[in-house]
Amino acid sequence: MDKKLFQAMHKLFNPRSVAVVGATDSPDRVGYNILESVLYGGFKGKIFPVHPRLDTLQGLKVYPTLEDVPEPVDVALVAVNQFATVETIAQCGRLGIKAAICLAGGYRETGADGLRLEEQLISLAREHGIALVGPNTLGLINTGADFYSTFYPLRLPKGRVSMLSQSGGLGLTIMHKAADEGLGINKWVGVGNRSTLEISDYLEYLAQDEETDVIGIFLEGTEQARNLVQAAARIAKNKPVVIYKAGRLAATEYAALTHTGTASGSYQMYRDILMNQFGVLMVDSVAELVAACKALSVSTLPAGGGLGIVTHTAGPSIALLDSATHQGISVPPLQQETINKIKDVLGQNPPVVLKNPLDTVGVGFAADMYSRVVNAVLEDPGIDLLVAIYCLHKNWRFPSSELVAAQQRSGKPVLAYYVSTWEGCRDERQILQQAGVPLYISPDEAAGAVSALVHYSNMRGREKHAE
């Protein structure tokens, strides 16, 4: 990445000062909410609201114009209409402001007139060397800097996963799902129309970002598909990249075009090139995206692809097995030595067939007995990672501490699939995920997590073999 562009993008994510152009005193306006978002998120830098007729807003002094702001501004948050946005970017250029987030829509996604207006915006940004997010964007977040510049005031759990989204609404869906899952976010960007910054530019930046370990993307499409594919393939060799690509049906093409002015492109082309040729993981839903990113950020990678499943109730294991095998995951038979160890726990004639997935039946209700079976399965040479299934119950506690100990003892990844509500296992989630055991409450998401870990384990293995 060009050094000047990297520095400009670093300032976008880590400003020391921001100006909110279009800040208002009306809570139903974007300008009010963008200012509240900066304040509510805990931004520690200087904040300069700009409005021609107000003196104070939310406890801050207001300045009539950008020119009246008495100190240097790192990032302009532009919350005015599409025509005034163009004028504001011209002002930014004259004042030497090198980064801007433009929220307004009304550009190429609306047709020929909007396209001409966007071309003016692009021309001004390039003339003055301004790194411009959007237009037609929800904004940008960097939890590490407590910098929230969306017009939805919120706070996110901090972590080491960064997300890019071509949709504000889907981006919010991803954020809320991640929060439910206990997945910490580091950076989030609504890329909008990508007038001057392409998805590949954000990828290149995040590749060098020391606070980001995993990158997730919601993609509608891009005219710069080659750059995106090349960047994602290169970056995925060092940091996992997970892409949820919309636009699988012809009807989606027009919806994407009128949303961010982007043709969605062939879903199959992206899958064939990104996943099959270059090994970048592609998923088909928000749930899969979050499940995969959580697994890749919380867990270590397995040495191979052999999955072990331990349960005390057969149905969820069958659903997990069905989903896992559909995704190409190997569920190998248990070796005889392993079966002998399991008999020492369950008895020499247990009322189940001792196989993988392994049903512990009633004996497994006790956490200590359940964990003994888990340890036996993890000792099997054919098992590289394990999913432990356990049901919420009023009188039987979850075996969370035992699963953490089993993972530490074996050195193999362990994932928990608790048949529960999130409220019912919220405390367990913290215990498990802080210790490197990702927790899920559905079989499909647990299977997706396993698939992500095995996918990137295989990818690392191929790279080592190629060396």
What are the sequence ranges of the domains in the chain?
1-138, 156-298, 299-466
Per CATH, the homologous superfamily of domain 299-466 is: Succinyl-CoA synthetase domains (3.40.50.261)
**Which tokens go with 320?**
């997990």
**How confident is residue 266, by pLDDT bands cut at 50, 70 and 90?**
low
Q: Going along 178-325, which residue ranges are E strands?
A: 185-190, 214-219, 241-245, 281-283, 307-311
Q: Which CATH superfamily is domain 1-138 in?
A: NAD(P)-binding Rossmann-like Domain (3.40.50.720)
Residue with tokens 């149905």: 315
d(CA 219, CA 199): 9
Give the model's confidence band at 273: pLDDT under 50 very low, under 70 low, under 90 confident, else very high: confident
Grade residue 264 by pLDDT with cuts at 50, 70 and 90. very low
Query: What are the two backbone dihedrals, phi and then psi, of residue 449, each rounded to the nearest 5 degrees?
Result: -65, -45
Specify the higher pLDDT residue, 352 or 422. 422
Domains 1-138 and 299-466 share a fold: yes
Q: Among 74-83, 131-140, 255-264, 377-386, which is the least confidently predicted range?
A: 255-264
* Banded pLDDT at 157 (limits 50, 70, 90): very high
What dotted CATH number matches 156-298? 3.40.50.261
pLDDT tens digits along 47-85: 999 999 999 999 999 999 999 999 999 999 999 999 999
3-state secondary structure of 359: strand
Instruction: Kindly give the residue spans of alpha helices, DSSP state H, lying in 264-385.
Output: 267-270, 286-298, 314-326, 336-346, 367-378
What is the predicted pLDDT for the residue at 265? 56
